């Protein structure tokens, strides 16, 4: 008698082969996690039946961290320690956050820093990476509880127009949450995967993705199982939050008008953090109410005693936000132009993101594309559903309906050339993964090193683009200007992350950098956060750096002192005294606890001994050739 193997619902018939993988939509307003069960992509719910997890993190006085609905309920009462829309700050500096007036947070006031922005909380300074990691941890716990096991990996979605810094920040957050990132997937592409599989359609589609904090538009072509991204565009600082802000400003104007009518006139003072968050919350609620209703009443009491009681009509809301809706159509037109398509070429328009529920948004899209947009999948869930399908395929739980994804680079990648100009190596909308190489040469006679700055953007000048990394290629053989051949290779992986290699062709000397953007976390910072319970880690690192600096300085001092004792007659008395002064200065530095100063002292001593080193080399060559004929020398 043979045995018939069975499986529980949602489980593989061969459990030893089935791997647990999820797709995660890390959203500005809400986040969620999905998986593939019994061949169907489905969103996982928490113990209360909620699919959406509000992207809100609160730091409590007792050190506890709460995420989601519980944190969201206290955002007006404790705004400084309840962080909302952290995704908008991912990979950003203070300079990038142009308008912070309505954001009730205290940002780290170090605008010159190359690190990403930090927020002051009662738990200390927190980066958007750390805040996002808490959201991802909550989703990971939900997934492992629902699936009954440890996750093999996750596909995490990002806006298509996220640059390298924002993508790296997202990967850093996932690492802090203990997730194995299988791939970063562009949100419009994830939505297209869900619609492509569910609707079994072929043709060219537009993915219009307006979320809480970002806007993306992508044009994709589905042909015989291959999903190719033809073009992408967007705005990483435009989303539903901006519609909330317009209502917030309208409320303030109404309150000012009302307060001036009091008898006696009541002074209207700038709002504090609690009132700002309260009004932003009321604005969001009004926006959502107006999706299905003609007017929304906004009632609350501010801390200064002023009663807010205003009514916003749907018509007024449309007028207030018409410029924001129009602003989404500019990237849409650019994407259509980049793809070389007319409106008649578009088979369907997929609406993604909770903000696309607003009637004025849907009407604008319908008017532009001359067709009703596709809304049969929940716009809040479609991205996670598509990501889950990709995750299921990447871990090997494949099905015959799997699509091949061909994503593209959202922005051009290149390097700086003389005069501060940008030489583009990989143009935007290049299919991923991609590798491109280009040859460069030296600018001056005898040049033995080259500094390479990697940039991202579409402008012609480096000053107008974003700097991603700098590195140096040393050891170039001294040649006449223009004789050297340096091949620079750019490689972008499936996640949209970049590595750059520079190689001098004749000598083979090579330099390589995996781009770690300025606002991402360094490996040391990742390690420090993951091992924060071991308080001595940072102190040990500094002690090692100081010890290495002292050893290096001691070796240099010893070598130069021996050389002076043997060959000081080769240089002038003044040069000898200058070298001895640098030795004395470096010796004094080694007794201090400043590794940076010691390293600078070593550089100064090396510079002071350059002429001496050249004189010793010349003397050595002269001595080696002394008394010999040309015939004796093996050329």
Active centre residues (catalytic)? 25, 87, 187, 209
Judge contact between 255 and 306, C-beta under 8 A. Answer: yes
Structure tokens at 237: 């600082």
- Counting every residue, how long is the chain? 635
Name the β-bridge partners of 40: 37
Alpha-carbon Rg for the chain in angstroms:
30
Which contacts of 456-463 are long-range, i.e. CB under 8 A and separated by 24 or more positions?
456/163, 456/164, 456/411, 456/412, 456/413, 456/414, 457/411, 457/412, 457/422, 458/411, 458/412, 458/428, 459/422, 460/421, 460/422, 461/420, 461/421, 461/422, 462/416, 462/420, 462/421, 462/422, 463/420
Q: What are phi and psi of 513, to 5 degrees?
A: -140, 130
Q: What are phi and psi of 528, to 5 degrees?
A: -60, -40
Residue matched to tokens 């709002």: 271
- Residues 427 and 435: their CA atoms lie apart, in Å, by 11
Judge contact between 486 and 519, C-beta under 8 A. Answer: no
State how beta strands 181-186 and 153-158 pair.
parallel
- Omega before residue 558 within 30° of 0, cis: no
Question: Measuring CA to CA, how many Å separate 469 from each of 422, 459, 499?
Answer: 14, 17, 10
Name the β-bridge partners of 34: 23, 43
Terminal-to-terminal C-alpha distance of the chain: 86
* 3-state DSSP assignment of residue 425: strand
Compute how many other C-beta atoms are within 10 angstroms of the C-beta atom of residue 358.
23
Structure tokens at 11: 């489980």
- Residues 44 and 146: their CA atoms lie apart, in Å, by 7
Query: Taking Cα atoms as reference points, which of 340, 325, 323, 279 lies closest to residue 304?
Result: 279
Question: Measuring CA to CA, how many Å separate 597 from each of 538, 560, 600?
Answer: 19, 19, 5
Helix (H) or strand (E) holding 382: helix 382-394
């Amino acid at each position: 008698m043979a045995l018939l193997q069975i499986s529980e619902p949602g489980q593989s018939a061969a459990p030893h082969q089935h791997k647990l993988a999820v797709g995660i939509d890390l959203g500005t307003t809400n986040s969620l996690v999905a998986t593939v069960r019994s061949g169907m992509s489905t969103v996982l719910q928490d113990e209360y039946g909620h699919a959406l997890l509000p992207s809100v993190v609160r730091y409590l006085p007792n050190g506890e961290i709460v995420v989601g609905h519980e944190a969201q309920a206290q955002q007006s009462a404790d705004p400084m320690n309840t962080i909302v829309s952290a995704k908008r700050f991912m990979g950003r500096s203070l300079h990038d956050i142009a308008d912070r007036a309505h954001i009730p947070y205290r940002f780290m006031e170090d605008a010159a820093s190359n690190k990403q922005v930090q927020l002051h909380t009662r738990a200390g300074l927190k980066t958007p990476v750390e805040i996002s990691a808490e959201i991802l941890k909550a989703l990971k716990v939900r997934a492992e509880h629902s699936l009954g096991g440890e996750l093999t990996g996750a596909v995490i979605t990002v806006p298509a127009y996220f640059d390298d810094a924002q993508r790296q920040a997202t990967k850093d957050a996932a690492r802090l949450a203990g997730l194995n990132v299988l791939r970063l997937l562009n949100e419009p592409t994830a939505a297209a995967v869900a619609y492509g599989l569910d609707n079994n359609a072929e043709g060219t589609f537009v993915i219009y993705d307006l979320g809480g904090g970002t806007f993306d538009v992508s044009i994709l072509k589905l042909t015989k199982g291959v999903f190719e991204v033809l073009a992408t565009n967007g705005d990483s600082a435009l989303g539903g939050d901006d519609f909330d802000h317009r209502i917030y400003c309208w409320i303030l104007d109404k309150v000012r008008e009302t307060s001036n009518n009091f008898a006696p006139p009541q002074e209207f003072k700038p709002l504090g953090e609690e009132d700002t968050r309260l009004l932003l919350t009321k604005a969001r609620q009004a926006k959502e109410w107006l999706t299905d209703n003609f007017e929304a009443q906004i009632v609350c009491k501010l801390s200064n005693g002023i009663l807010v009681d205003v009514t916003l009509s749907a018509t007024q809301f449309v007028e207030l936000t018409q410029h924001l809706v129009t602003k989404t159509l500019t990237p849409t037109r650019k994407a259509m132009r980049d793809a070389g398509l007319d409106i008649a070429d578009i088979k369907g328009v997929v609406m993604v993101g909770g903000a696309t529920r607003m009637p004025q948004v849907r009407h604008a899209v319908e008017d532009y594309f001359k067709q009703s947009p596709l809304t049969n999948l929940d716009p809040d869930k479609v991205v996670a559903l598509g990501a889950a399908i990709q995750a299921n395929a990447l871990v090997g739980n494949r099905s015959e309906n799997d699509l091949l994804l061909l994503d593209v680079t959202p922005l051009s990648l290149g390097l700086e050339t003389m005069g501060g100009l940008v030489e583009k190596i990989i143009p935007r909308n290049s299919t991923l993964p991609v590798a491109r190489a280009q040859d460069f040469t030296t600018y001056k006679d005898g040049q033995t090193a080259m500094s390479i700055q990697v940039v991202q953007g579409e402008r012609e000048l480096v000053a107008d683009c974003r700097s991603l990394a700098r590195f140096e290629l040393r050891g170039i053989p001294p040649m006449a200007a223009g004789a050297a051949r340096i091949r620079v290779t750019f490689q972008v992986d499936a996640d949209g992350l970049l590595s750059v290699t520079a190689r001098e062709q004749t000598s083979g000397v090579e330099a390589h950098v995996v781009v770690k953007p300025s606002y991402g976390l360094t490996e040391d910072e990742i390690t420090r956060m993951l091992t924060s319970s071991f308080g001595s880690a940072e102190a040990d690192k500094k002690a090692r750096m100081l010890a290495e600096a002292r050893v290096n300085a001691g070796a240099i001092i010893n070598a130069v002192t021996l050389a002076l004792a043997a060959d000081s007659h080769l240089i002038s008395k003044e040069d000898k005294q200058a070298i001895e002064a640098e030795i004395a200065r470096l010796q004094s530095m080694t007794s201090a606890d400043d590794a940076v100063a010691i390293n600078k002292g070593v550089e100064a001593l090396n510079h002071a001994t350059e002429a001496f080193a050249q004189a010793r080399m010349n003397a050595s060559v002269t001595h080696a050739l002394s008394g010999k004929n040309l015939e004796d020398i093996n050329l």
